[in-house]
């Protein structure tokens, strides 16, 4: 569900939690826990600590505390992180609740593909989930030279290549299609065929695509909401994703949908050359 712009939107909307002191923690148990069970004992140990910042790398959030520990959160496909009054009724599929006095930071996740963990802030890069990530597409920028170097010898489809978080962290299935349309490159092109010129165009297109979505507070297809419950409006502005059969916004050719590695890909057969 959430890619970089959505996770960054969540990060920004968590600003009201910065400065709050953690009072307690709860996690759902009895057979209904997430695939990767949240570490309840470690979360409870955070009681008394104050939230100092919320950071993001790729699709991961890090809620820092002054205890030298951070809460690592990945939203999976349907994860929702919200700050609500403690008295508010819990939404369905709530898995983790972090008490913040009169408010609570809550993690809900219908499909349970997400992740909540506690890491030592100073050693966070050693965490298995973070260790494999490449540069963050927004914070670090997308370097066309690095992109080209990583694509070298890779027979994967360019669109599949973009989903590899070790190449660029933050691009997911929506924005891979979007960026390739923006760069006028066909998604089925093999990564190793990338040229310097195309890498430059693609790097710029990735940045433009993500920044634009972020300005629209992310893409809400169905589940995504920010920590204050608001939806993103970028769905209205998508160039190709979920637009099969509709005219290309550049050339009017009908957008095509296909499937690569089990995931939907959208492109314009005319202005995205092979």
* Residue 2 is a catalytic residue: yes
C-beta of 128 vs 274, nearer to DNA: 128
Q: How far is the CB of 228 from DNA (least distance, A)?
A: 15
* Residue 89 is a catalytic residue: no
Q: How far is the CB of 175 from DNA (least distance, A)?
A: 8
Q: Which residues bind DNA (CB under 7 A)?
A: 1-3, 6, 32, 35, 58-59, 74, 76-78, 92-93, 110-113, 128-129, 132, 153-157, 160, 163, 165, 172-174, 218-224, 232, 261-264
* Residue 120 is a catalytic residue: no
* Residue 247 is a catalytic residue: no
C-beta of 76 vs 135, nearer to DNA: 76
Q: Which of 3, 6, 124, 178 is catalytic?
A: 3
Q: How far is the CB of 31 from DNA (least distance, A)?
A: 9
C-beta of 64 vs 178, nearer to DNA: 178
Identify the residue whose tokens are 């983790």: 96
Q: Which of 28, 56, 59, 103 is catalytic?
A: 59
Contact 46, 71 (CB under 8 A): yes
C-beta of 96 vs 100, nearer to DNA: 96
Q: Which of 36, 55, 250, 263 is catalytic?
A: 263
Q: Which residues are catalytically annotated?
A: 2-3, 59, 263
């Amino acid at each position: 569900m959430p890619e970089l712009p959505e996770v960054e939107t969540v990060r920004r909307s968590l600003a009201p939690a910065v400065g709050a002191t953690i009072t307690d923690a709860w996690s759902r148990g009895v057979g209904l826990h997430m695939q990767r069970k949240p570490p309840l004992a470690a979360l409870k140990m955070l009681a008394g600590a104050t939230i100092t910042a919320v950071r993001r790398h790729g699709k991961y959030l890090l809620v820092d505390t002054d205890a030298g520990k951070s809460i690592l959160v990945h939203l999976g496909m349907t994860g929702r992180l919200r700050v609500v009054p403690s008295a508010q009724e819990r939404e369905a599929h709530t898995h983790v609740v972090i008490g913040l006095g009169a408010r609570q930071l809550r993690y809900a996740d219908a499909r349970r593909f997400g992740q909540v963990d506690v890491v030592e802030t100073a050693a966070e890069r050693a965490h298995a989930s973070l260790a494999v990530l490449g540069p963050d597409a927004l914070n670090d920028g997308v370097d066309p030279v690095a992109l080209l170097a990583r694509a070298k010898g890779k027979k994967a489809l360019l669109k599949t290549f973009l989903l590899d978080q070790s190449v660029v962290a933050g691009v997911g299935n929506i924005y891979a299609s979007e960026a390739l349309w923006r760069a006028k490159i066909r998604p089925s092109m093999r990564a190793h065929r990338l040229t310097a010129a195309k890498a430059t165009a693609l790097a710029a297109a990735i940045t433009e695509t993500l920044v634009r979505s972020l300005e629209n507070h992310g893409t809400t297809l169905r589940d995504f909401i920010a920590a204050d419950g608001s939806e993103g409006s970028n769905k209205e502005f998508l160039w190709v994703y979920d637009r099969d059969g509709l005219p290309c916004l550049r050339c009017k050719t009908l957008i095509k949908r296909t499937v690569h590695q089990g995931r939907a890909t959208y492109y314009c057969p005319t202005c995205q050359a092979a």
